[in-house]
A and B are shown apart, each in its own frame.
Chain A
């Protein structure tokens, strides 16, 4: 008579039941026939002799019922009734089958049926939409790929490759005349030619110098400079003033020479370097010569 109570004392409330799942706040029942899913005295299919559930199989809902008369025959214990696909009709069927059953079970069965139909509808809707395919990633493969990518990145030397490609394109002329560098390229070509001719000229000059003598004005020497010196001498009489003038003139000469050199050098940079051989003759030593000799001449003049 108190068999169920005994069962409940053994498995329910604070005892061990293999279907029981305990969490911090609640206890759940994993029994497939449980109607609410919680572990309660009224929801336990083992501790209730009269019990009913609604379960779903392949989109169809079935009503399972258990009565005390069949408690001795576990193979036939649960009576399975197929419910109608129509929700309203299924509810009526439940009412019809569970007439005179406790309110709690009837109510919970209908609730469960509702939930099941709702999720079946949602499944059908989702299958029509696009479904996200989950592709499993193999960790080993991912790690391997990552490492290979790093190595490939190092081997690629991207910046160098890009720079090389851009320079190649510049050389090929895909950029047209946007950049001024083509002149330099031309210059280089010219310089190469000039070097060839220079080497030839040098040989010729060496042959000339080995014997003949000539009295030639030096490269930087200009007649205008000479006249300047004479004017300076006439203007100032005292030696100190002369010296100052000489210094000034020498300074001026220096600056003039520097300017000249700079000008010629600049010219050679920009355009054709025709002054190659002449540049060779001009050495800094010559400048010093001029300065030393001039004061001597001037002192002689005065």
Chain B
């Protein structure tokens, strides 16, 4: 059967362009047998350029069906190209009178307008930000000091992740969690002058959650962590980050909620970045996913900058924002991700 189908396909290869290798060592008997079948099929199947009156799915032979389908696709592609060329010509011909180019729809374009979007000149927002929990940091009254810990019994990956985070964030200390209750840990941290508590939750030997708690009774944010890449898994990475204070880039935090989260991230790092170090930590928000990257940059000239990634990378997704310090039972939640309400629309984002 295989040989017969090959012979059939060989015949077919003559009718259309070079798609199959023509085999010459065929038994003549087989060819004779197939010749009759070929005729009937040739009748039903029109030439390559003639629009067929049957759909491609009616052909029973898989190889032939596939080849007909490919031909169809090619024709469609050609038509599309021709259409494009025509349109382009028309545009050129019209010159200035041409209708404006249509902007393609993207998810960012079609995003449902969030009424809590911050207007840069909004006074109320400015006033709020002047008096909220981070105002102490932004008025340069406090210097950040971060305590990084994990959930119980962390595995190697989580431990390494914590260590690398500690190199990225200046003034960060990693402490081993020995089954301590967070509610007891927090007052101790406050007494020792820490401004941030970061708890990395682990599940199945992989970090999957992050609780970021601003200490002198600041808000607590709970994130879902995904796609953690440690330093040795990064491609074309640079050397280890130095002790210089990195710059911070916060992108796309537009709504009120986004603003407060952005300030939370900003308050992790000391105020004055050391430009000598040429390191930059980026928190980029896209469609409610916050991507963290750590790069070293170099300006080649005033129009070109080269960046090289060092340091870990991970993505965060905000799950809840709670007003006081960490208290899951009795805390007052400012924002909680409710899947059925908030995930129903694909164009609605909250950060």
B299, A155: Cβ atoms closer than 8 Å = no
Contact among A155, A176, A181 for B108, CB-based, below 8 A: A155
A-contacting residues, B283-312, CB 8 Å? 284, 286-289, 291, 293, 295, 297, 299, 301-303, 305, 307
Task: Give the residues in chain B near A265, CB-CB below 8 Å.
Answer: none
CB-based nearest B residue for A164? B305
| Chain B interface size, under 10 / 10 to 19 / 20 to 34 / 35 or more | 20 to 34
B107, A162: Cβ atoms closer than 8 Å = no
B305, A163: Cβ atoms closer than 8 Å = yes
A152, B295: Cβ atoms closer than 8 Å = no
CA distance A295 to B303 in the complex (A): 50
Cβ proximity bits B113-157 to A, threshold 8 Å, 1 near / 0 not: 000000000000000000000000000000000000000100000
| Chain A interface size, under 10 / 10 to 19 / 20 to 34 / 35 or more | 20 to 34
Task: Give the residues in chain A near B104, CB-CB below 8 Å.
Answer: none
B-contacting residues, A144-179, CB 8 Å? 145-146, 148-149, 151-153, 155-156, 158-159, 161-163, 165-167, 169-171, 175-176, 178-179
CA distance A46 to B58 in the complex (A): 68
| A3 part of interface (Cβ distance < 8 Å) | no
B-contacting residues, A198-227, CB 8 Å? none
Task: Give the residues in chain A near B275, CB-CB below 8 Å.
Answer: 175-176, 178
Interface residues of A: mostly helix, strand, loop or mixed? helix
CA distance A5 to B284 in the complex (A): 77
Cβ proximity bits A215-249 to B, threshold 8 Å, 1 near / 0 not: 00000000000000000000000000000000000
A162, B179: Cβ atoms closer than 8 Å = no
| B2 part of interface (Cβ distance < 8 Å) | no
B107, A179: Cβ atoms closer than 8 Å = no
A152, B286: Cβ atoms closer than 8 Å = yes
| A184 part of interface (Cβ distance < 8 Å) | yes
Contact among A148, A165, A170 for B302, CB-based, below 8 A: A170
A156, B299: Cβ atoms closer than 8 Å = no
Task: Give the residues in chain A near B295, CB-CB below 8 Å.
Answer: 162
A149, B181: Cβ atoms closer than 8 Å = no
Task: Give the residues in chain B near A153, CB-CB below 8 Å.
Answer: 286, 289, 291, 315
Task: Give the residues in chain B near A169, CB-CB below 8 Å.
Answer: 247
Task: Give the residues in chain B near A176, CB-CB below 8 Å.
Answer: 275
CA distance A162 to B297 in the complex (A): 10
Task: Give the residues in chain A near B307, CB-CB below 8 Å.
Answer: 159, 162-163, 166
CB-based nearest B residue for A141? B339
Cβ proximity bits A84-100 to B, threshold 8 Å, 1 near / 0 not: 00000000000000000
A-B contact list, 19 entries, CB within 8 Å: A130-B179, A141-B339, A145-B317, A148-B287, A153-B291, A153-B315, A155-B106, A155-B287, A162-B249, A162-B284, A162-B293, A162-B297, A165-B249, A166-B249, A166-B280, A166-B305, A170-B302, A171-B302, A175-B275
Name B's A-contacting residues (CB within 8 A): 106-108, 152, 179, 181, 226-227, 247, 249, 251, 275-276, 280, 282, 284, 286-289, 291, 293, 295, 297, 299, 301-303, 305, 307, 315, 317, 339, 343
Name A's B-contacting residues (CB within 8 A): 129-130, 132, 141, 145-146, 148-149, 151-153, 155-156, 158-159, 161-163, 165-167, 169-171, 175-176, 178-179, 181-182, 184-185
